[in-house]
Amino acid sequence: MGDEARGASEGAKIGGARGAPPEQQNVAPGADEHHPTIASDGDSAPPSSLVPPPSDPLVIRRLEFLGGMAQAGGWRPEPSHPEVAFAGRSNVGKSSLLNRLVRRKALARVSKTPGRTREINFFSVNDRFVLADLPGYGYARISKERKAEWWSLIDRYLRESPQLRGVVQLVDARHDPSDDDLRMFDFLADLGTPTLVVATKVDKLRRAEATARVGTLADALGVDAEQMIPFSAVTGQGRDELAAAIVALIDTPPWRHS
């Protein structure tokens, strides 16, 4: 059975469902199997780099993997909380960004589990909002059929999620947008979805170069340079700015009803 054909009932299980021994699963001790809480990276005190600064706009108190949506129109968690989706082509740095954002390595590890890479993976953050990690697109060797399945999964999710507040769209600061990036931007613009644009891996560029690249990218994507958040998962640059923008987004009403 292909991973994409799996039913939603498996979605909420990361404890035991894939046969990995418990110590390899990112579930906090005592978390129940269907709604496991994602553990922080260490058993005891987290390393100082993971201790949030006092001004952190998004202190992560609770993180819970809710499950994955494998097919268009398939299972998804009850849309009871505001949702923010994260999109970008494969390898853009989405997993690294998510790890930085929530200060847990385990979140993106769940999304990178074989079989989950083509799903939309949902995480509850602080019981306040839901983060939807969309599968990476633009993988070179992907077949036409699979690509069509991918677009239909994303298309329906974005159209049919009543609590969606916006999309965080990632582009690699070093490269021009791909055709798939442009298609995604067009699609989001058509829907009218509020979009935060993050330029990833800026640590790979010198400061002046990064500023120039962000400007070029903004032009290519048709957004203001001020709308873009330069980000580095290595240095943490942009993490708090992104966190604050997400908090502002989830506090607004769904744009479809406003």
Residues that bind ligand GDP in the complex, under the rule CB under 6 A: 88, 90-96, 136, 200-201, 203-204, 232-234
Nearer Cβ to ligand GDP (94/118): 94
Question: What minimum distance in Å lies between the beta carbon of 11 and ligand GDP?
Answer: 20
Of 69 and 92, CB closest to ligand GDP: 92
Ramachandran region, residue 209 (left: φ > 0; alpha: ψ -120 to 50; beta: rest):
alpha
Which one, 31 or 233, has the nearer CB to ligand GDP?
Answer: 233
With CA atoms as reference, report the closest residue to 65 among 7, 113, 5, 20. 113
Q: Could you tell me the smallest distance in angstroms from the CB atom of residue 236 to ligand GDP?
A: 9
Least Å distance between CB 12 and ligand GDP? 22
Closest to 175 measured CA to CA, from 91, 56, 81, 60: 91
Contacts for 14-22: CB closer than 8 Å, 24+ residues apart = 14/65, 14/110, 14/113, 18/113, 18/114, 18/115
Q: Which residues face 146 on adjacent strands?
A: none
Q: What is the 3-state secondary structure (H, E, C) of 182-215?
A: HHHHHHHHHHCCCEEEEEECHHHCCHHHHHHHHH
Q: Which pair of tokens denotes residue 229?
A: 């958040």
Least distance to ligand GDP, CB of residue 91, Å: 4
Q: How remote is the C-alpha of 69 from its chain's centroid?
A: 14
Contact 83, 163 (CB under 8 A): yes
Question: To the nearest whole angstrom, how small is the minimum distance from the Cβ of residue 4 to ligand GDP?
Answer: 18
Nearer to ligand GDP, 136 or 166 (CB): 136
Distance CA 254, CA 258 (A): 6
Identity of the residue, 116 or 201, whose beta carbon is nearer to ligand GDP in the bound complex: 201
> In this complex, which beta carbon is closest to ligand GDP, that of residue 31 or of residue 97?
97
Tell me how far, at minimum, the Cβ of 162 lies from ligand GDP, in Å. Answer: 27
